[in-house]
Structure 1
Amino acid sequence: MPKLHQLHRDIDARVGAIRDAHPDWLCGKGCDGCCRHLADVPRLTAAEWALLREGLARLAPERLAEIVGNAAALARQPSPPVVCPLLDRASGACPVYAQRPVACRSYGFYVQRDKGLYCGDIESRVDNGALGDVVWGNHDAIDQRLAALGESRPLTEWVALWQNEPVVHGG
């Protein structure tokens, strides 16, 4: 996963630069607006899924069962606005934040207006001149790098495939 980790470092650098220049930036701990109002089910590459699965495997069985149930419900009815199945709705936090996909890492800092992937609150601040000097990250470059990391599937599909894998017992 070295390519994925380098991509994470590059995104984190852009996010850090934006945060340093704008300490009042809206994205941060406690803001879960994007997680509750996704335009579509997040797509992950095979490399992203492998990393995310590591984080999921560390969760308490009850929490993992809740996430699997949320993903199954979302797969049956994925109409917008989509709530991320990983989101702990009570706390508004992501239990696998360290392993979160690129879409989550870049949201709010890299804009994809044509796909509806941008924060409306940030957009309104930009429109009102409050964040006029923001230099957004280039999401086309991110998409190209993601394409090199393997097949991409909706999160709900990865979870369903994972749940159907045969259990291997150590011996």
Structure 2
Amino acid sequence: MPLTDLHLDIDRRVDFIRAETPDWLCGKGCANCCRKLSDVPLLTAAEWRLLQEGLAALPAERLAQVSEAMARLVSQPMRPVVCPMLDQVSNACPVYAQRPVACRTYGFYVQRELGLYCGEIEAQVAEGKLADVVWGNHDVIDRELAALGEVRALTEWFARWQKEQA
């Protein structure tokens, strides 16, 4: 499966960076990126199918909370946005194993025109602290994603799924 292969490639890069830099900022409990999304995430059809599995496995109460957060996100004109799946008490993702590629690569991949995204990591780079890091190339990831089906906003996928469930 192409998405599984892509995840394995990403995991190898992330594991390598974590092994080389044990005090890496991105880790369980850090939800800075989840709280400061520049926009509603876009997902390919393959990513949505995987995420849908994670959402379907959530307890009804947690899924209802996600649904409410999605509804708020649709009507929220201001940016940045908070990921509607984030458990804001624990700073954990309840669908972590099924999370989209953008979440998997954030903080570990660089994009030619857009940089590293994370201000805290960029600050460490500016201080010379991460000079030895071999970043993943997000432009390559984007090319791989382009082959994984149509792209829609997370809120659109979720709304379609809810209609199918009704």
Alignment TM-score, normalising by the size of structure 2 = 0.95
Deviation at 1:166, TM superposition (A): 5.0
Does the aligned pair in 2 maintain the 1:39–1:116 contact within 8 Å?
no
3-state DSSP of counterpart to 1:88: coil
How many equivalent residue pairs? 166
Deviation at 1:35, TM superposition (A): 0.2
Does the aligned pair in 1 maintain the 2:110–2:135 contact within 8 Å?
yes
Does the aligned pair in 2 maintain the 1:40–1:78 contact within 8 Å?
no
Deviation at 1:80, TM superposition (A): 1.4
Query: Distance in 2 between the 1:86 and 1:113 partners?
Result: 28
Greater Cα shift, 64-73 or 6-15: 64-73
What amino acid does structure 2 have at the position aligned with 1:18? I
Equivalence for 2:89: 90
Does the aligned pair in 1 maintain the 2:29–2:91 contact within 8 Å?
yes
Deviations 1:3-29 (A, max 9, x none): 000000000000011111100110001
Deviation at 1:101, TM superposition (A): 0.4
Query: Distance in 1 between the 2:155 and 2:46 partners?
Result: 16
Gapped runs of 5+ residues in structure 1? none
Deviation at 1:114, TM superposition (A): 3.9
Deviation at 1:75, TM superposition (A): 1.1
Equivalence for 1:164: 163
What amino acid does structure 2 have at the position aligned with 1:49? W
Query: Distance in 2 between the 1:78 and 1:157 partners?
Result: 16
| CA separation of 1:89 and 1:149: change in aligned 2, threshold 3 A | same
Deviation at 1:108, TM superposition (A): 0.3
Query: Distance in 2 between the 1:77 and 1:85 partners?
Result: 12
3-state DSSP of counterpart to 2:141: helix
Equivalence for 1:29: 28
Equivalence for 2:72: 73
RMSD over equivalenced CA pairs, Å: 1.4
Query: Distance in 1 between the 2:15 and 2:77 partners?
Result: 32
Matches within 5 A, 1:6-85: 6-85=5-84
Query: Distance in 2 between the 1:139 and 1:52 partners?
Result: 21
Deviation at 1:111, TM superposition (A): 2.0
Query: Distance in 2 between the 1:81 and 1:161 partners?
Result: 24
3-state DSSP of counterpart to 1:161: helix
What amino acid does structure 1 have at the position aligned with 2:137? N
Deviation at 1:116, TM superposition (A): 7.1
Equivalence for 2:121: 122
What amino acid does structure 1 have at the position aligned with 2:104? R
Gapped runs of 5+ residues in structure 2? none
Deviation at 1:78, TM superposition (A): 4.6
Does residue 1:149 correspond to 2:148, yes or no? yes
3-state DSSP of counterpart to 2:109: coil
Does the aligned pair in 1 maintain the 2:112–2:139 contact within 8 Å?
no
Deviation at 1:117, TM superposition (A): 6.0
Q: Percent same amino acid at aligned positions?
A: 66
Alignment TM-score, normalising by the size of structure 1 = 0.93
Deviation at 1:77, TM superposition (A): 1.3
